[in-house]
Amino acid sequence: MDASALFKFTSGLYVVSAQAGEDVGACVINTGLQLTAEPLQVMVAVNKQNHTQGVIERAGHFALSVLTQECDMDYIARFGFRSSADVDKFEGIERRETALGDPFAPACSCAIVACRVVQTLDVGTHMVFVGEVADAEVLGDAAPLTYAYYHSVLKGTTPPKASSFVPDAKAPAEEAPAPAGKHHFRCVLCGYVHETDDEELPDDFTCPMCGAGKDMFEKID
Ligand SMILES: Cc1cc2nc3c(=O)[nH]c(=O)nc-3n(C[C@H](O)[C@H](O)[C@H](O)COP(=O)(O)O)c2cc1C
| Statement to judge: residues 41 and 139 lie in one domain | yes
For residue 174, pLDDT over 60 is answered with no
- Report the pLDDT value the prediction gives residue 218, as an integer from 0 to 100: 86
Residue 132 lies in a domain: yes
The pLDDT of 159-165, averaged and rounded, is 76
The band of 146, judged by pLDDT with boundaries at 50, 70 and 90, is very high
Helix (H) or strand (E) holding 130: strand 126-138
Angle ∠(37,98,91) on CA atoms, nearest 5: 130
Residue 174 neighbours by CB under 8 Å, 6+ apart: 184, 186, 193, 220
The pLDDT of 38-65, averaged and rounded, is 98
The pLDDT of 191-217, averaged and rounded, is 87
Residue 160 lies in a domain: no
| Statement to judge: residues 79 and 8 lie in one domain | yes
DSSP state of 18: E
| Statement to judge: residues 133 and 183 lie in one domain | no
Q: Whose CA is nearest to atom 15 of ligand 1?
A: 162
User: Mind listing the pLDDT tens digit for each residue in 91-143?
Assistant: 999 999 999 999 999 999 999 999 999 999 999 999 999 999 999 999 999 99
**Gap between the Cα atoms of 199 and 77, Å rounded:** 26
Q: What's the gap in Å between 142 CA and the centre of ligand 1?
A: 22
For residue 54, pLDDT over 60 is answered with yes
Residue 102 lies in a domain: yes
- Report the pLDDT value the prediction gives residue 43, as an integer from 0 to 100: 98
| Statement to judge: residues 119 and 190 lie in one domain | no
Position in ligand 1 atom list of the atom nearest CA 150: 1
| Statement to judge: residues 147 and 203 lie in one domain | no
| Statement to judge: residues 68 and 11 lie in one domain | yes
- Report the pLDDT value the prediction gives residue 100, as an integer from 0 to 100: 98
| Statement to judge: residues 72 and 113 lie in one domain | yes
- Report the pLDDT value the prediction gives residue 95, as an integer from 0 to 100: 97
Instruction: Find the domain containing 182 and state its range.
Output: 172-219
Which CATH number covers residue 140?
A: 2.30.110.10
| Statement to judge: residues 211 and 112 lie in one domain | no
Q: What's the gap in Å between 161 CA and the centre of ligand 1?
A: 6
Q: What's the gap in Å between 138 CA and the centre of ligand 1?
A: 23
| Statement to judge: residues 185 and 148 lie in one domain | no
| Statement to judge: residues 106 and 54 lie in one domain | yes
Query: Which of 82, 161, 207 has most ligand 1 atoms within 8 Å of its beta carbon, as the pocket-test mutant?
Result: 161
Domain end call among 123, 152, 181 = 152
- Report the pLDDT value the prediction gives residue 207, as an integer from 0 to 100: 87
User: Mind listing the pLDDT tens digit for each residue in 62-80?
Assistant: 999 999 999 988 899 899 9
Residue 161 lies in a domain: no
Q: Is the dihedral of CA 34, 128, 2, 161 positive or negative?
A: positive
The band of 173, judged by pLDDT with boundaries at 50, 70 and 90, is very low
Position in ligand 1 atom list of the atom nearest CA 53: 27
- Report the pLDDT value the prediction gives residue 157, as an integer from 0 to 100: 75
Q: Whose CA is nearest to atom 30 of ligand 1?
A: 80
Ligand 1, CB within 6 Å, residue ranges: 13, 25, 27-31, 45-47, 50-52, 76, 80-85, 126, 150, 156, 158-159, 161-163
For residue 175, pLDDT over 60 is answered with no
Q: Whose CA is nearest to atom 23 of ligand 1?
A: 83
Cβ contacts of 107-110, under 8 Å, gap ≥ 24: 107/75, 108/67, 108/68, 108/70, 108/71, 108/75, 108/145, 109/15, 109/65, 109/66, 109/67, 109/68, 109/139, 109/140, 110/66, 110/67, 110/68, 110/138, 110/139, 110/140, 110/141, 110/142, 110/143, 110/144
- Enter the pTM of the model: 0.85
Residue 138 lies in a domain: yes
Residue 166 lies in a domain: no
The band of 152, judged by pLDDT with boundaries at 50, 70 and 90, is confident
For residues 150 and 143, is the Cβ–Cβ distance under 8 A? no
Neighbours of 21 (CB within 10 A): 8
Q: What's the gap in Å between 79 CA and the centre of ligand 1?
A: 7
Q: Total domain count for the chain?
A: 2
Which CATH number covers residue 176?
A: 2.20.28.10
| Statement to judge: residues 64 and 36 lie in one domain | yes
The pLDDT of 196-200, averaged and rounded, is 92
Residue 10 lies in a domain: yes
Residue 72 neighbours by CB under 8 Å, 6+ apart: 154
Q: What's the gap in Å between 47 CA and the centre of ligand 1?
A: 7
| Statement to judge: residues 147 and 178 lie in one domain | no
Residue 163 lies in a domain: no
Position in ligand 1 atom list of the atom nearest CA 46: 11
